[in-house]
Amino acid sequence: MKINIIGAGVAGLSAGCYLQMNGFDTEIFERHSTFGGLCTGWQRKGFTFDSGLQWLLGSGDSNPFYLLWSELADMGSIRFIHHDVRLEIELRDNTDIFGDKVFHIYSNLDRLEQYMLSIAPMDTAVIRKLIRTMRRIQSFEIPPMIREVPQLMPWYKKIRYAKYLPLLLFLNRVKRETNFTLAEKFKSPFLKEAFRMLFDGDELSMLIVTLPLAFNDLKGTGYPIGGSVGFVSKIEQRYLELGGKIRYSTEVEKILTENNHAKGVLLKTGETSLSDITISAADWNFTLFTALEGKYVNPVILSLKSQEKMKVYYSVFVVSLGVNSTFDGQSYIHRYPLAQPLVSPDGTQYEFIEVHFNNYDPTLAPEGKSVIYISFYTLRADYWIEARKANPEDYRLTKQKFAEKIIDLADEKVPGLKENIEVVDIATPATFERYTNNWKGSVQGWLPGKNLVAQSPVKSELPGLKDFYFVGHWSIPGGGLPVAVKSARDVAKIICHRNKVSFQIRSARNS
């Protein structure tokens, strides 16, 4: 049975791997010249700039995703870095009782608890409850039912998953806590300001922080040396070893349908490739409204198109610097307050500047040098996308001037930065939209907002269309690599079930 897959990102490669393991003949069509999608990197004068992977959920066996990654890559061959400090936030208005203006988010929960208690003993009850929440998270298998696809399970098998009821009750209880609501519970002005600034002044679910911190404490969210390219290359290699085929620089124009069955793809070259099943691991908007011409939608899907039901995740303006220094002693990520708000050309106002010191991965820079990222998230990607289309030269000058302003501000916070810069690379939302084809330059699909455990209205199958499946980071709000691999695995199991094939897995290490 032939299966066409659109997109050689993590979701497309993972789907290909699982299907090849189970005897299907797959072929991936990738519009870019390389794999990875959003999880990729590029080289400039000896430096490698990475657009995606800062940490991997499931880097260690304390998290269930380790089992999934082990099915796709030899995890024992990858060296992971675990940062002692996840983030440092320099506050504007308050200091702790020792006169320090920097709030340190330690990876070790015992250390984090003792640190917070030492600076705010009056908030002992709130602090200990926060730590207990993260300890409670560690006691669960998250995500639940990871080895099963719920819609394929008979009722008598679902009974065994009653053990996850405590998890569901727990998540239902904590999902409404945001950084703002938690901040109001602190008596310490220092902690109150620190938690309000967890997300650059935005209000989002605390689960965005507590979930990764809980698993980071157990060494389950490490950074793989080699970054995005190094990690995803192992999945691509696995796919090719399993007999899969990839056609790079091959853009799909349309998904062919006949009598409401997907029949293959039409390429930009005019060539057609017929198949029994078609899987799209491409962008949600492109898949539904370009490749399928908006034929297989319903009111829920149309509400997503208009962003009435759910907003598209942030895009990013990022200045990547290759520097002639390793800046030893700097924390992993440091957020500094600005004396005056920084206003982006797209109109977004920023109160802080966040500097990511990547001095821990020697593969990304020549010896004695390192890479620094300065990122600004925006929900106004359309400004950059339309500016590039309207006047490329004006767009180039605009992004360059904004990048120069950012570098000047960063130099005030990081002495010696500017004089050590060797390479400057600028990526805007238009860059992400252009190279990855992700709608509005989104870097993680849908924005989860305050409710991180919201059910996604995006399904793996479309109304009225057979022999077609959708996988990828648009499947669940918040997106990311875990969503990509889990959605790919689930669809592979569904395809096996419907074709009476017993779903089989061979560990990457033993293959």
- The model's pLDDT over 166-208, given as tens digits with 9 standing for 90+, comes to 666 777 777 788 999 999 999 999 999 999 998 877 888 888 8
Query: pLDDT digits over 216-232, tens only?
Result: 999 999 999 999 999 99
Distances (CA, A) of 1 to 273, 275, 279, 470: 13, 8, 13, 18
What value does the mean pLDDT take over residues 246-262? 97
What number of other Cβ atoms are within 10 A of residue 122's Cβ? Answer: 11
As a whole number of angstroms, the distance between CA 331 and CA 337 comes to: 16
Residue 439 above 90 pLDDT? yes
Q: Greater confidence, 52 or 498? A: 498
What would the pLDDT profile of 83-128 be if each residue is shown by its tens digit?
A: 999 999 999 999 998 999 999 999 999 999 999 999 999 999 999 9
The number of angstroms, rounded, from the C-alpha of 357 to the middle of its chain's C-alpha atoms is 19
Least reliable range by pLDDT among 52-61, 170-179, 338-347, 496-505: 170-179
Is 90 exceeded by the pLDDT of residue 427? yes
Q: What is the mean pLDDT of residues 333-341?
A: 93
Percent of the chain clearing pLDDT 90 (strictly above) = 75
pLDDT digits (tens, 9 = 90+) for 56-89: 999 998 888 898 999 999 999 999 999 999 999 9
Write down the pLDDT at residue 506. Answer: 78
- pLDDT tens sequence across 132-160: 999 988 887 766 544 566 666 665 555 55
Domains of the chain in start order, with CATH, are: 2-45+56-77+227-309+447-510 (3.50.50.60), 105-218 (no CATH), 315-441 (no CATH)
The region of weakest confidence among 16-25, 75-84, 442-451, 452-461 is: 452-461
- The backbone torsions φ and ψ at residue 30, rounded to the nearest 5 degrees and listed phi first, read -125, 125
Instruction: Name the pLDDT band for 162 (thresholds 50, 70, 90).
Output: low
Residue among 507, 495, 510, 490 at smallest CA distance from 25: 495
Tell me the β-bridge partners of 256: 264
* Confidence class for position 369, pLDDT limits 50, 70, 90: very high
Nearest CA to 53 among 39, 63, 67? Answer: 39
Residue 357 CA to residue 344 CA, distance in Å, equals: 22
Comparing CA positions, the residue from 337, 353, 330 lying closest to residue 94 is: 337
pTM of structure: 0.91
Q: Among 256-265, 319-328, 474-483, 491-500, whose mean pLDDT is lowest?
A: 474-483
**Mean of per-residue pLDDT scores for the chain:** 90
Output the DSSP codes for 314-341: PEEEEEEEEES---TT--SEEEEEEEEE
Instruction: Out of 2-16, 150-164, 368-382, pick the least confident.
Output: 150-164
Question: Mapping DSSP to helix (H, G, I), strand (E, B) and coil, where does residue 207 land?
Answer: helix
From the number of C-beta atoms within 10 Å of its C-beta (0-12, 13-18, 19+), residue 446 rates as: buried
